[in-house]
Amino acid sequence: MSSTTRGFKNVSDPDSLQEVLATKLEEVARLNKDPEVAEKLKGCIDFVDGLESFLKDSASEATPVQRKILTDTYKEPWTEYYETGKTTAKFRPSMATGYHEGQFLRIASQITKAKRILEIGTFTGHSAVALALSAYCEELVCLEYEPFLVDFVKSRIDGTPVENKIKFMIGVAMESLQKLKEEGRVFDLVFIDADKGNYINYYNFIMDNGLLEKSGTLMIDNTLWKGQVYSTSDNISPNGKVLKEFNEHVRQDPRVNQVVLPVHDGVSLIHRVEESD
Ligand SMILES: C[S@@+](CC[C@H](N)C(=O)[O-])C[C@H]1O[C@@H](n2cnc3c(N)ncnc32)[C@H](O)[C@@H]1O
C-alpha cells in the first residue's frame, strides 16, 4: 500500500482498522507461495486500500489551518524532540486524527450545537481545531500536559477563526478535571483522546461530577483499538484490554446511550440520557 493512498499515515505504524487489516494481509501475501492465492490476496489488499483512500478522499476539504497542522505534524522531528528533552514522550504523527476523523468531529460538533467543549489530549491540535470550527462553539478547553505541544498548537492557530475559542490547561488531565469541577464548569461536548489507561477514570469523573451537561455528548477515540477489543486472541496489548473494559463499562451505564462507530480506530458516540428519554 503506497504512502500516497494512505495520505499522511505512516505505513510502518498502522492505526485505522483498514491499515491494520492491510498490514495483516500483506504479511500473509509475503509468506504465500501459491499464485492463485496471491491473486486473491491482492484483490483483498486492493479492496481495503481502496476503502481507506475513499474514506479520506470523500471527506469534504479540510480548512487551511487543519491542513497546516497535519502537514507540520508529519514533518516535525519527534524523535529528536524527545531525545533533546523538548517533549517527555516520543510522539508519532499517527497520534493525530486524520482528515476523515477530523471531518467527523467537525460535523459532530456542528450538529450537537455544542457551545462549551472539553478535549482531553490535544497533541498537535487537529481534533481541537475540527471541534472548534463549529459556528456554535464558543469555547474549547484543551487538557494537555506537554507545554511544547501547546506552543505548537498556539503558533498554528494564531490569526485563524478558532484562535480566540481554544483555551489550554497545561497539566495532568485528572488534576485539570478537578479544577474544572471546583470552578463549576459544565460542557456540552467532551472528546477524550489521552492516556487510554485513564479512560474509565476520566469518564467516571466527568459523569459523577456534573461536568457533562444533561443531554450532553461524549466522544471517545480509539475504542476499537486496532480490532483488539473484539479479538479472541490471548495476545492483546494492555491498551486493547483497558479499551475492552471501558466499552463494557459504558455499555452498562444506565445514564447513557452508546454506539461504537468504525471511524478510523473506533470512535464511541455517547449520549447522556435525560430521565424522560
Ligand atoms: C493521541 S494524542 C491526542 C491526539 C489529538 N486529540 C489529535 O487528534 O490530534 C494524546 C495526547 O494526550 C496527552 N496526554 C496523555 N496523557 C495525558 C495526561 N495524563 N494528562 C494530560 N495530557 C495527556 C499527550 O501528551 C498527547 O498529546
pLDDT value, residue 274: 79
- CA-based nearest residue to 57, from 95, 4, 12: 4
Cell numbers describing residue 147: 507545554
Query: Which residues of the chain fall short of a pLDDT of 70?
Result: 1-12, 276-277
- pLDDT score, position 8: 41
For residue 186, report the distance from its CA to the centre of ligand 1, in Å: 21
> Which ligand 1 atom is the nearest neighbour of the CA of 73?
9
The atom number, within ligand 1, closest to the CA of 121 reads: 12
| Residue 120 to residues 80, 159, 233, Cα–Cα distance (Å) | 25, 24, 30
- What pLDDT is recorded for position 14? 87
Sign, CA dihedral 253-255-261-267, equals: negative
Distance of CA 146 from the midpoint of ligand 1 (Å): 8
Rounded distance, CA 36 to CA 41, Å? 9
Q: How far is the CA of 126 from the centre of ligand 1 (A)?
A: 12
Rounded to whole angstroms, how far apart are CA atoms 193 and 243?
12
Which of 16, 74, 193, 267 to probe ligand 1 with, by most ligand atoms within 8 A of CB?
Answer: 193
Separation of CA 24 and ligand 1 centre (Å): 27
pLDDT of residue 5: 33
Q: Which residues line ligand 1 (CB under 6 A)?
A: 95-97, 121-124, 126-127, 143-146, 149, 172-173, 193-195
Instruction: Please tell me the number of Cα atoms within 13 Å of 163 on its side-chain side.
Output: 8
The residues facing 167 across adjacent strands are 141
**Residue 15, pLDDT score:** 86
Spatial contact of 193 and 246, defined as CB atoms under 8 Å apart: no
Candidate from 68, 87, 91, 95 with most ligand 1 atoms within 8 A of CB, to mutate: 95
* pTM, rounded to two decimals: 0.94
Question: For residue 86, how far is the Cα from the chain centroid?
Answer: 23
The pLDDT of residue 11 is 55
Ligand 1 centre from 251 Cα, in Å? 24
Q: With the C-alpha atoms ordered 48, 53, 58, 63, is the resulting torsion angle positive or negative?
A: positive
Q: Could you give the domains of the chain? A: 17-58 (no CATH), 64-272 (3.40.50.150)
DSSP SS3 for 119: strand
Alpha carbon 261 to chain centroid distance?
12
List, for residues 141-176, the tens digit of each pLDDT value. 999 999 999 999 999 999 999 999 999 999 999 999
Separation of CA 273 and ligand 1 centre (Å): 28
Please choose, from the candidates 218, 214, 219, the residue with its C-alpha nearest in 3D space to the C-alpha of residue 273.
214
Cβ neighbours, 10 Å, residue 52? 23
Which of ligand 1's atoms lies nearest the C-alpha of 126?
Answer: 9
Distance from Cα 122 to the centre of ligand 1, integer Å: 5
Residue 78 C-alpha cell reads as: 519527534
Phi, psi of 242 (to 5 degrees): -70, -35
Shortest-distance Cα residue to atom 22 of ligand 1: 144
| pLDDT value of position 13 | 77
Q: Which atom of ligand 1 is nearest to the CA of 146?
A: 25
The Cα–Cα gap between 130 and 151 comes to: 18
**Cα of 249 from ligand 1 centre, angstroms:** 22
